[in-house]
Amino acid sequence: MERDELGFDAPAPVGHPVRASMPEDAGTGPAIGERLPDFELPSTLGHPIHFHAHRGHSKAALVFYRSAVW
Amino acid sequence: MSYDDLETLDEFATAQGIPYPLLSDIDSKVIRQYGILNTQISEDDAFIHGIPYPGVFICDEQGIVTAKFFHDSYKKRDSPENLIDAAMGRIHIDQGAARVTGGEADINITATVRGGRGSLRQGIIRHLVLRFQLAPGLHIYGEQVPKGLTATRVTITGPADVRTLPARFPPSAPLRLPTLDMELQVWSGEVDIVLPFSAAGALATEAHAPTPPHCQLEFEVAYQACTELECLLPRRERFTLELPVDVVDVPNLGVHRGHGQREGQYDSTPAMRRLLWRKVRARPLGLVKLIWKTFTLKVGNALRRRESG
């Protein structure tokens, strides 16, 4: 495995787009203090989820990850 | 949330025992809506196009963002315990985690690692928590301090392959001393200082199981405690915590197998076929271009390594 400039090893060559770091000027979505945009998506609960309606009055962690497959 | 199809997510949730909902953003519609589509990857990069920059938003009861965690490398991910601490607005110290104590009379310092029961894994961010317990009347300082006073700082000095993020301090209180024409920022009572860190390089790698499977985390704490009338001598204390080094969790897929990591509970090859078919149907030449790009990068990198000796 090849090690990148941040010291991480991965099973893809350095320079491959799958290993690209997030640029410093990349937007990272809603800022602290903003309301999370609402959305509706299929879910593993067996029915679609409307985010804020499903959340109700609870705090939440919304986790974006790359893939469950690879 | 990911761009995986629902069948894949159902299999994954069942095999991995995940109790919370996984959301299928198959066309990356919400990923784009949130503005976090990974634009380093082009549409010609076949099945990897459409993924987000990985990260987490924490929101309060009104849906307002109170914390967010995004990093330069996709390998850096925040421990679930640290997400919970951010959501709850306090730091929970694991009673079972390794800890070390220090300080002096009237000042207790407890140092421990929050997240993963203190284990290190490649890229996973843990929190070194320094809990000061100061006797009434004593305070310690935040930056900036005048010459002659020592601000509170924590620094990890080893091992070399540990990477740190900026330390996090609790809200401080202003203190104006009659003898000094400046406002100082101080903490008193119980003060938790957090230094996020992660492991990289040879310390924790995806290439093989860790050797050895533990390390000595060395860190230094500098501080000075004062009352309103007088100061104790500044102190610089060194600590060591032995922490286990663990492997990372990888999908049970050909490219990840055989590197001594913890492979997933189910074979994701059928899911990979579904993903490839979905992406190749939309852009038939993309997979060919990606395979060619991967091959030329591998050959180019190998030649460069040979030339540099």
pLDDT-derived band at B144, boundaries 50, 70, 90: confident
Q: How far apart are CA B6 and CA B74, in angstroms?
A: 23
Q: Do A69 and B294 touch (CB under 8 A)?
A: no
- Does B180 score more than 80 pLDDT? no
Strands B183-187 and B235-244: unpaired
Closest Cβ opposite residue B41 in set A14, A20, A26 = A20
For B31-41, the pLDDT digits (tens) are 999 999 999 99
**Predicted pLDDT of residue B44:** 86
Domain boundaries, chain A: 34-70
Cβ-Cβ contacts under 8 Å, A47 against chain B:
none
pLDDT-derived band at B183, boundaries 50, 70, 90: confident
Q: Do A29 and B200 touch (CB under 8 A)?
A: no
**Predicted pLDDT of residue B93:** 86
Closest Cβ opposite residue A65 in set B2, B26, B293 = B2
Instruction: Count how many domains chain B has.
Output: 1
Which residue range(s) make up the domain with B167? 91-249
Judged by a CB distance cut-off of 8 A, whether residue B8 touches chain A is: yes
Assign residue B199 the CATH number of its domain: 2.60.40.1250
Q: Does residue B210 have a cis bond before it (omega within 30 degrees)?
A: no
- The pTM of the full predicted model, rounded to 2 decimals, is 0.93
Cβ neighbours, 10 Å, residue B292 = 10
In a domain, B42, yes or no: no
pLDDT-derived band at B265, boundaries 50, 70, 90: confident
ipTM of the modeled complex: 0.98
Q: Six-digit token pair at B37?
A: 């589509």
User: What residues of chain B, 118 to 147, have a C-beta less than 8 Å from chain A?
Assistant: 122-123
Cβ-Cβ contacts under 8 Å, A1 against chain B:
205-207, 259
Closest Cβ opposite residue B1 in set A16, A22, A63 = A63
In a domain, B238, yes or no: yes
In a domain, B24, yes or no: no
- Does A54 score more than 90 pLDDT? yes
Q: Do A43 and B23 touch (CB under 8 A)?
A: yes
Judged by a CB distance cut-off of 8 A, whether residue B168 touches chain A is: no
In a domain, B239, yes or no: yes
For B63-107, the pLDDT digits (tens) are 999 999 999 999 999 999 999 999 999 998 888 788 999 999 899
Could you tell me which chain B residue has the CA closest to the CA of A67?
A: B2
pLDDT-derived band at B178, boundaries 50, 70, 90: confident
CA of B151 vs chain A CAs: smallest distance (Å) = 28
In a domain, B81, yes or no: no
